[in-house]
Amino acid sequence: MTVTLEPDPLPLPGHVRIRVRACALNHLDTWVRRGIPGHHFPLPLIPGSDVSGVIDLSDSPDLPIGTEVVAAPFVSCGQCAACRAGNDVGCPSYAILGENINGGCAEYVCVPATHVLRKPPNLTFPEAASLLLAPLTAYHMLHARARVMAGETVLVTAAAGGVGTAAVQLASRAGARVIALVGADTKREAVLALGASEVVVLPRDGDPSAVLKEALGKPAFDVIIDSVGDRTFEASVRFLKRFGRLVTCGATAGAAPTLDLRRVFFLSLSILGSTMGSLPELADVLAMAAAGRLKPVVHSVLPLAELPTAHRILEAREVIGKVIVEP
Ligand code: ZN
């Protein structure tokens, strides 16, 4: 294999260059690495969506050189109707770092100055990087899509993962009762400490319906925050109450579940899709973290040179929180 070194990138007008101090990984990174049939990734591509670091080249008076920052995991134009409505994902220029444009598994990354936020001073660089794509996704799912209300019961699947650890905390902060689904008993204490009221353990070879029936008895959920897909979808829908909402942001365990439509119409259920979130929502996430109301959950921090190991850790599904690399 021939390895070519990329020259250090130079920022376009209106952009800044960040010297990367930490980059958090997401399951997205492993999809990008493996490729998705029928999906085009622009190659060569630097992976990594969640960047924290220090401004290193800038002509923005608001972001002088040396400012400690995070980059939004996406870019958008900020001008179009979708952006103005807070639906950045609908922007014609929308692109995700590490998927559509170069990301943060590198020494430098250039991004629009408009998509850079100050790093909360109480967080380390790895902690700040851990609070971007996944917590933003969880925030948008719970608030913009499910419109969760105090007193409701929320199931979070893969509750020890990146989206899960944030969703447990955010739902609990919203006054909901949180039931956390995890794959191993070793994750129980960590998820309870984040605010879950109850933890249901679904072993790797366990039957999701039987496990939920034993734990809950009857339909119990107003909201399901799901990033798993096939493995838990059918069973979790069976435990949605009338007017329940299932929000899906990923399919790490299969993307073609079966769905009994009779339950959907008899019970007025909603099945909602969700991708990422908006810049104002990311500012809310970081403000909560700055105030100590949302805790970073960092599983491990590795040197960037050990990126293959970092991917393997993530794919082994034994993590609690985020896997981070440092250049
Ligand atoms: Zn736009």
Domains in the chain: boundaries: 53-118, 135-273
Beta bridge partners of 199: 180
Q: Cα of 83 to ligand 1 centre, how many Å?
A: 4
Cα 96 to middle of ligand 1, angstroms: 13
| 72 Cα to the center of ligand 1, angstroms | 14
Residue 322 near residue 138, CB atoms below 8 Å: no
If you measure from the C-alpha of residue 213 to the centroid of ligand 1, how many angstroms do you get, rounded to a whole number?
Answer: 45
Q: What is the structure's pLDDT at 228?
A: 83
Between the CA of 137 and the centroid of ligand 1 the distance, in Å, is 19
Q: How far does the centroid of ligand 1 lie from the alpha carbon of residue 326, in Å?
A: 31
Residue 118 pLDDT:
98
Query: What spacing in Å lies between the alpha carbon of 254 and ligand 1's midpoint?
Result: 31
Distance 76 CA to ligand 1 centre (A): 5
Domain 135-273 is classified in which CATH homologous superfamily? Medium-chain alcohol dehydrogenases, catalytic domain (3.90.180.10)
pTM for this entry: 0.95
pLDDT in tens, the chain (327 residues): 566 777 899 999 999 999 999 999 999 999 999 998 888 899 999 999 999 999 999 999 999 999 999 999 999 998 999 998 888 989 999 999 999 999 999 999 999 999 999 999 999 999 999 999 999 999 999 999 999 999 999 999 999 999 999 999 999 999 999 999 999 999 999 999 999 999 999 988 889 889 999 998 888 899 999 988 878 888 889 999 999 999 999 877 777 888 889 999 999 999 999 999 999 999 999 999 999 999 999 999 999 999 999 999 999 878 999 999 999
The partner residues of 198 in beta bridges, in order of sequence, read 179
Q: Is 276 left (phi over 0), alpha (psi -120 to 50) or beta?
A: left
Measured in angstroms, how far is the CA atom of residue 277 from the centroid of ligand 1?
13
Predicted local confidence at residue 231, as pLDDT: 83
CA distance 63 to 84: 23
Residues with CB under 5 A from ligand 1 (ion): 76-77, 80, 83, 91
